[in-house]
């Protein structure tokens, strides 16, 4: 998990340097009709709500699910672009069954990344006044999730996991993101994503007919324009 996180950070750093280098040296307008490709990125802190067979069920066993995200956006024009994102965080959940003998809860540390299409549904500035406006984007894409998962049975032993396994899955992120930039290039962002996993064993627990697991993520952070 640590090696995967280190590789993700190096990937983002190299992407950042490449974007900055292009903005410095590609100053000549060779073709006025060509599209002006822009880069921006964000770093955000958030919380995740797991919705699976072992759902978030508030009790003394529940712990906050912290999530840290790094995102880079490539804007081909004012309406369309792409996003590359990496998130590291925690998932947890527990059963809410009526029968105590079936109680289970899980904890996991995950790393996930996605590539998404990014569609602007609002304007970035007021045409009449020229003032910057908060801009709203819709996101849809595909990603990959990997996690170290521990499943506990409180009826036996709450200290030693009943199961311990590394789980991976493809997932489909669908979300909405709001950003507002200041004149210096810095700004603020907020997002809500629903990540639908292809697998139903993200929590090491599977109930037939209940569908795949999914995760709702809330993030607040800072954003910056590279060019």
| pLDDT at position 116 | 97
Structure tokens at 224: 């910056």
172-209: pLDDT as tens digits: 999 999 999 987 789 999 999 999 999 988 988 877 77
pTM above 0.85, yes or no: no
Mean pLDDT value of segment 145-155: 86
Residue 114 has pLDDT above 90, yes or no: yes
Mean pLDDT value of segment 122-151: 90
Mean pLDDT value of segment 69-89: 94
| pLDDT at position 204 | 85
Domains of the chain: 2-19+35-225 (2.40.160.20)
| pLDDT at position 183 | 75
Confidence class for position 159, pLDDT limits 50, 70, 90: low
HEC string for the chain: CHHHHHHHHHHHHHHHHHHHHHHHHCCCCCCCCCCCCEEEEEEEEEEEEEECCCCCCCCCCCCCCEEEEEEEEEECCCCEEEEEEEEEEEEEEECCCCCHHHCCEEEEEEEEEEEEEEEECCCCECCCCCCECCEEEEEEEEEEEEEEEEEEECCCECCCCCEEEEEEEEEEEEEEEEEEECCCCEEEEEEEEEEEECCCCCCCCCCCCCCCCEEEEEEEEEEEECC
Higher-pLDDT residue of 62, 162: 162
State the Cα–Cα distance between residues 181 and 216, nearest whole angstrom.
25
| pLDDT at position 55 | 72
Residue 13 has pLDDT above 60, yes or no: no
State the Cα–Cα distance between residues 202 and 214, nearest whole angstrom.
9
Q: What is the mean pLDDT of the chain?
A: 80
State the Cα–Cα distance between residues 175 and 121, nearest whole angstrom.
13
Confidence class for position 62, pLDDT limits 50, 70, 90: low
| pLDDT at position 98 | 61
Residue 14 has pLDDT above 70, yes or no: no
State the Cα–Cα distance between residues 66 and 91, nearest whole angstrom.
8
Residue 91 has pLDDT above 80, yes or no: yes
């Amino acid at each position: 998990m640590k090696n995967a996180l280190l590789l993700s950070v190096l990937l983002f750093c190299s992407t950042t340097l490449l974007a900055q280098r292009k903005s410095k040296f590609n100053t000549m307008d060779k073709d006025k009709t060509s599209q002006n490709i822009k880069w921006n990125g964000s770093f955000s802190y958030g919380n995740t709500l797991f919705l699976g067979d072992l759902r978030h069920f508030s009790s003394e066993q529940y712990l906050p699910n912290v999530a840290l995200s790094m995102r880079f956006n490539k804007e081909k024009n004012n309406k369309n672009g792409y996003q590359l994102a990496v998130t590291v965080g925690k998932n947890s959940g527990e059963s809410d069954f009526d029968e105590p003998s079936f109680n289970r809860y899980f904890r996991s540390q995950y790393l996930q990344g996605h590539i998404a299409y990014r569609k602007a549904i609002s304007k970035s500035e007021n045409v009449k006044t020229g003032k910057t406006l908060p801009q709203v984007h819709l996101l849809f894409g595909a990603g990959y999730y990997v996690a170290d998962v521990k499943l506990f049975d409180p009826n036996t032993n709450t200290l030693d996991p009943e199961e311990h396994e590394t789980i991976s899955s493809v997932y489909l992120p669908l979300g909405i993101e709001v950003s507002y930039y200041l004149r210096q290039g810095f700004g603020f962002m907020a997002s809500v994503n629903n990540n639908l996993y292809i697998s139903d064993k993200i929590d090491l627990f599977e109930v037939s007919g209940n569908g795949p697991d999914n995760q709702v993520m809330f993030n607040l952070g800072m954003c910056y324009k590279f060019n």
